[in-house]
Structure 1
Amino acid sequence: MKKSLLLSILSLFFIQCISVKQKVKASKNTNIQTTETAKPKLVVGIVVDQMRYDYLTRFQSKYSDGGFMRMLKNGYNCKNNHYNYIPTYTGPGHASVYTGTTPENHGIIANDWYDKFEKKEVYCASDASQSSVGVEGQWAGKMSPHRMQTTTVTDQLRLDTQQRGKVIGIAIKDRGAILPAGHSANGAYWFYGKDKGNWITSTYYTNELPTWVKEFNAADEAEKYMTTWNTLYDINTYVESDTDLSKYEGTFKGKANATFPYDLKSLQEENGGFDILKATAYGNNLTTDFAIAAIKGENLGQDNDTDFLAVSYSSTDYVGHRFGVNSKEIQDTYLRLDQDIERLFATLDAEVGKGNYTIFLTADHAAVHVPSFLQDQKIPAGYFDSKPLKDHLKSFLNTMYGSENLIENISSGQVFLNYEEIKRLKLSTTAIENALQQELLSYDKISKVYTRTAFLNSEFTHGIAASLQRGFNQKRSGDVCFVLDIATIPYSRTGSTHGSGFNYDTHVPLLFYGNGIQKGETLQRTEITDIAPTISALLEISFPNASTGNPIESALKN
């Protein structure tokens, strides 16, 4: 009896001690919650433009403990994460990450595409009804997300919190800031380097830059990076990359070859002013500076409504396109990005509090090895000259049907037919599609061809056909879609590119870290469309309205 009474008293004592300890911990900073059961005060979505999955493993020995490795060791790593549609470009990639669906539904079918109703090329984020804010009389701010036809996880957060939860999008590329931020964002900002190297926005969001953005621009932050770009560490230790002087790399105007160091100040005038920073590791440094300014300037994560910061690192794409995926320039860019992510973590720890935020990190696409390099390694690869194709197909259709006007446009691996001409000649659209399919299959370096009729009448469940179909938007896409041979690109013989549905373009990182995230990893296939429903489930909000992905349950704590 006495033992039972003593145990009861001790139990009550320990419970009171724990309760007092929690209250004391909370009272130290009333703005920072420490309980892991609460929803995150801030979600940070990081998209690294053109990041291949193997950049995590290839450069791992040189990463610090506080950047990528912090996420790898203490977060959840989806090691077999892929894009599940074609084309793998920046615009569709960012839209798909945040909408949880593919171009079939969200409508961003490429960065630029032929609008068969307007009869012209359109850009995924352009909006002539808007004006630039932060730069006078320029097209650079005439942007909005109006071409994206579905909601994003950021939109759903705004709706769920009655617009109390803030959403901010940041990227050097306008589309990398605008599409993730969604339709209802408080702000989206991107870099304009042709003037003073300022961050700008659009009247879609505001008519005047916030004070913190004005102060950032006034401090001429971009100017401090107009210096010499040399390797972070001894270049001789960069054994994970090709030689510095390589025939597979492009370079800047005014520089004879692609070798370190790069005197950016001397190259500035010939390379678009401050825009030269975009294609260096310093573009990511500048993006991190601005993201940190946003966290502080917008007071993100400082109340009970979850906020969302969408950050896209664009410079990795510019560097990859110019120098290639096997260059010392790309390695140095990722080693420096690792330090940027560590800086971002330090800011979040200080401003929001450990355990109070959630981060995911992924990419909008990956990239192919330079085909000329692959050829020298005796690996099948090649280049495709798209210019003669249109003339060839016009001539073919003229021979068959007596008209050279049956094709309106060929772009992004799609052929757009001229419906008015088909109607005038009383021809069958299906018959023309089938004829083009057979002709394209006989064309050198084209491996697969699918028609609009096939996509409308059949459901493909796997392989390239299924990826093409998920990227096919009935209203916006063309009438015949074709796929090039593996590792064959319509690009220069230096530098890397992307766009296909093959593993080198689809396999990208997906890391989760922080509040509500389980520590671990999986080799089960996950897809890019799973990110938005996973974050929605974590936040207990509605999924984006056209989401087709599934929450990654194993990444979430019970």
Structure 2
Amino acid sequence: MTVTKRMVSTLMLAAIAVMQGLSASAQVNAKPKLIVGIVVDQMRWDYLYRYYDRYEAGGFKRMLGEGFSCENTYISHLPSFTAVGHSTVYTGSVPAIHGITGNDWTDQVTGRRWYCTEDTTVTAVGSNSSAGKMSPRNLLASTITDELKIATNFRSRVVGVSLKDRASILPAGHTPNGAFWLDDANASFITSTYYMKELPEWVKKFNERKEPQQLMSQPWNTMYPIGTYAQSAEDNSPWEGSFKGETSPVFPHNLPAIYKQDPGSLRTTPFGNTLTLDFAKAAVEGYDLGNNQVTDFLTINCASTDYVGHQFGPNSIEVEDTYLRLDKDLSAFFSFLDKRVGKGNYLVFLTADHGAAHAIDFMKAHNIPAGLNQDKKMIQDLNALLQAKFGLDGLVKSFMNYHVNYDLKKIEAATNVSFDAIKKVTVEWLVKQPGIQFAADIDNIGSSAIPEPIKAMVVNGYNPKRCGQVMIIPEPGWFSGPSKGTTHGNWNPYDIHIPLVFMGWNIKHGSTNDITHMTDIAATLAAMLHIQMPNGCVGKPVTAITNTANAQ
């Protein structure tokens, strides 16, 4: 066959066209069309695997099978609470810097108690209740969502979604297009005047569907035969809490009757997650997320896992059923994104704000040390001791977030009373109490006998304007909280070992057992997007992810 100049020219032109097509494709996918951050409230790391055999292909299994999992991701601050975790994920910072030291805190200057997203200057949009008097103004640092906005000259669209106000507001940052949360008073998603004067039409239409009422119109029974829930304790376990009106915590739960008595009970069912992800789909459509010249960002908090976990505890059939149902909801949500945005065009990460301890009586039933810290009695006894020694009554106002809050004005007004001496007596007394392993005067923590990494976690969580000056560290298995169900907040692995899985755009399948931290999430996203890290970020990019992403 004779090759002519014309044939060579034609082949060269075809090759150039192919290269141009590849170049154009590379430019289109240079950055993800949409980032979706999913924080599953109270999700212990082991839940990825504890129920793995019963997950379906498109949910958690898809994330682990297609994505990259950081198997040893830890919280590096205390306490490990909801608002703190969400703020840390999205700022890449710690409470000492970003300022969200708990869901509530006591202002050490004024003595006033504050809720983390409370804002007295704004009002509700979509409701007449106080549930809308919220904003991100108490968050002192920028978020990765803020930095994306700045990097694109505010062309990126950012939206936050959760049943909880704080879990919608704090991840979305200071500059979003909107943040929406559920108001139990009218069973509707609302926002505040910080963001807008009127709800968007798509939110109004979603609320008109009355989905909460529909979800609570049938009893909650197990998705599979109850005898197959082998990873859980017996249904009627004495350490589980009950819904209002129930005589025992057993299936089926009569949701219509429960919801009639308590409009907030939807949260403590798996259907709160269903509602959240349905609203997230509506947000994608309403703001046309992922169809922009720049990257958009959707933050989602699945909060019902937290409510169910608090009430029933990690070893309940209710928790297992909630995760099996969440898995199906996530599978449907990922399929929705595949069709709407395109598989490979969006980047999703899934993590948690904290974990949870086993219920105290569950531990005791299996001869594992555990107990309940008696905060009220300890405050009473400590105040009596301090009054006897220093002649001042009521010096300790509260134990909040495992910090001791003092009446600082009373101490400052007193003569011949040393605050250091008060703190010293407090610490010496606390470490003698049942269930207290350590206590420390944080101003003098360098001389404390608390081992690492706990000492560093105390420092990372301490903001002097929002935290009491002495911190309490319970023994493993002990906590301040309910006698039934469970809670979280401490340094132990059950509270701070969290899942972290990335999937989608530029993510190569794999895993790492190297230690990573919650603060690394925002830094990793910034590196992948080639934008600035949030202004308080102390985390580091997970190079096992960024190196492979940048190489593609």
Q: Same fold (TM over 0.5)?
A: yes
2:473 alignment partner AA:
V
Q: Which residue does the alignment assign to 1:125?
A: 117
| Alpha-carbon separation, structure 2, partners of 1:38 and 1:495 | 47
Q: Describe the superposition over 1:524-558 as per-residue Cα deviations: whole angstroms up to 9, x where unpaired.
A: 11100000010111111100001000000101322
| Alpha-carbon separation, structure 2, partners of 1:57 and 1:8 | 57
Structure 2 gaps, min length 5: none
Matched, 1:543 2:533: yes
The 1:456/1:146 distance shift into structure 2, 3 A limit, reads farther
Partner of 1:201, secondary structure, is strand
Partner of 2:43, secondary structure, is coil
1:352 alignment partner AA:
V
1:512 alignment partner AA:
F
Q: Describe the superposition over 1:276-329 as per-residue Cα deviations: whole angstroms up to 9, x where unpaired.
A: 110000000000110000000100010221110000000000000011101111
Q: How does 1:458-497 map to 2 (within 5 A)?
A: 462-497=452-487
Q: Which residue does the alignment assign to 2:346?
A: 357
The two structures have a TM-score, normalised by structure 2, of 0.94
Match of 1:416 among 405, 408, 424: 405
How many residue pairs get matched?
A: 545
Matched, 1:112 2:104: yes
1:404 alignment partner AA:
D
Match of 1:268 among 259, 272, 288: 259
For the 8 Å contact 1:42–1:306, the answer to whether it is kept is yes
Q: How does 1:446-457 map to 2 (within 5 A)?
A: 446-455=436-445
Partner of 2:519, secondary structure, is helix
Among all aligned residue pairs of Structure 1 and Structure 2, give the percentage whose two residues are the same amino acid: 40
Q: Which residue does the alignment assign to 1:498?
A: 488
Match of 1:347 among 336, 347, 352: 336
1:403 alignment partner AA:
L
Q: Which residue does the alignment assign to 1:191?
A: 182
Q: Which residue does the alignment assign to 1:432?
A: 422
| Alpha-carbon separation, structure 2, partners of 1:65 and 1:479 | 49
1:247 alignment partner AA:
P
2:545 alignment partner AA:
A
How far 1:454 moved relative to its partner? Answer: 1.4
1:216 alignment partner AA:
F
For the 8 Å contact 1:405–1:421, the answer to whether it is kept is no
| Alpha-carbon separation, structure 1, partners of 2:96 and 2:224 | 44
When the two chains are superposed, the root-mean-square deviation of aligned CA atoms in Å is 2.3
Matched, 1:323 2:288: no
Q: Describe the superposition over 1:478-525 as per-residue Cα deviations: whole angstroms up to 9, x where unpaired.
A: 111111111112222321210001101001100001112221100111
How far 1:465 moved relative to its partner? Answer: 1.3
| Alpha-carbon separation, structure 1, partners of 2:251 and 2:376 | 35
Deviates more, 1:216-225 or 1:7-16: 7-16
| Alpha-carbon separation, structure 1, partners of 2:247 and 2:106 | 37
Match of 1:76 among 68, 73, 87: 68
For the 8 Å contact 2:442–2:459, the answer to whether it is kept is no
Deviates more, 1:457-466 or 1:172-181: 457-466
Q: How does 1:521-536 map to 2 (within 5 A)?
A: 521-536=511-526
2:520 alignment partner AA:
D
2:409 alignment partner AA:
E
Q: Which residue does the alignment assign to 2:355?
A: 366
Partner of 1:493, secondary structure, is coil
| Alpha-carbon separation, structure 1, partners of 2:479 and 2:14 | 67
Deviates more, 1:345-354 or 1:425-434: 425-434
The two structures have a TM-score, normalised by structure 1, of 0.93
Matched, 1:49 2:41: yes
For the 8 Å contact 1:460–1:466, the answer to whether it is kept is no
Q: How does 1:232-381 map to 2 (within 5 A)?
A: 232-270=223-261, 272-273=262-263, 275-381=264-370
For the 8 Å contact 1:449–1:483, the answer to whether it is kept is yes
How far 1:457 moved relative to its partner? Answer: 8.2
Q: Describe the superposition over 1:202-256 as per-residue Cα deviations: whole angstroms up to 9, x where unpaired.
A: 1110010000000001111212101221111222221111111211211111111
Match of 1:172 among 156, 159, 163: 163
The 1:522/1:36 distance shift into structure 2, 3 A limit, reads farther
Q: Which residue does the alignment assign to 2:95?
A: 103
| Alpha-carbon separation, structure 2, partners of 1:338 and 1:506 | 22
The 1:449/1:85 distance shift into structure 2, 3 A limit, reads same
For the 8 Å contact 1:45–1:359, the answer to whether it is kept is yes
How far 1:426 moved relative to its partner? Answer: 3.1
Matched, 1:15 2:15: yes
| Alpha-carbon separation, structure 1, partners of 2:448 and 2:371 | 31
How far 1:419 moved relative to its partner? Answer: 3.1
1:232 alignment partner AA:
M
1:262 alignment partner AA:
H
The 1:20/1:459 distance shift into structure 2, 3 A limit, reads farther
1:127 alignment partner AA:
D
Matched, 1:67 2:59: yes
1:88 alignment partner AA:
S
Deviates more, 1:88-97 or 1:407-416: 407-416
For the 8 Å contact 2:440–2:448, the answer to whether it is kept is no
For the 8 Å contact 1:154–1:167, the answer to whether it is kept is yes
The 1:148/1:79 distance shift into structure 2, 3 A limit, reads same
Partner of 2:292, secondary structure, is coil
For the 8 Å contact 2:168–2:180, the answer to whether it is kept is yes
The 1:4/1:87 distance shift into structure 2, 3 A limit, reads farther
1:300 alignment partner AA:
L
| Alpha-carbon separation, structure 2, partners of 1:38 and 1:507 | 33
Partner of 1:176, secondary structure, is helix
Partner of 1:80, secondary structure, is strand
| Alpha-carbon separation, structure 2, partners of 1:8 and 1:241 | 70
| Alpha-carbon separation, structure 2, partners of 1:453 and 1:415 | 13
For the 8 Å contact 2:243–2:258, the answer to whether it is kept is yes
Deviates more, 1:475-484 or 1:287-296: 475-484
How far 1:392 moved relative to its partner? Answer: 1.1
Deviates more, 1:374-383 or 1:417-426: 417-426
Partner of 1:253, secondary structure, is coil
| Alpha-carbon separation, structure 2, partners of 1:476 and 1:367 | 24
| Alpha-carbon separation, structure 1, partners of 2:433 and 2:474 | 10
Partner of 2:526, secondary structure, is helix
For the 8 Å contact 1:36–1:356, the answer to whether it is kept is no
Q: Describe the superposition over 1:315-344 as per-residue Cα deviations: whole angstroms up to 9, x where unpaired.
A: 000000011101111011111111111111
Q: Which residue does the alignment assign to 1:149?
A: 140
Partner of 1:526, secondary structure, is strand
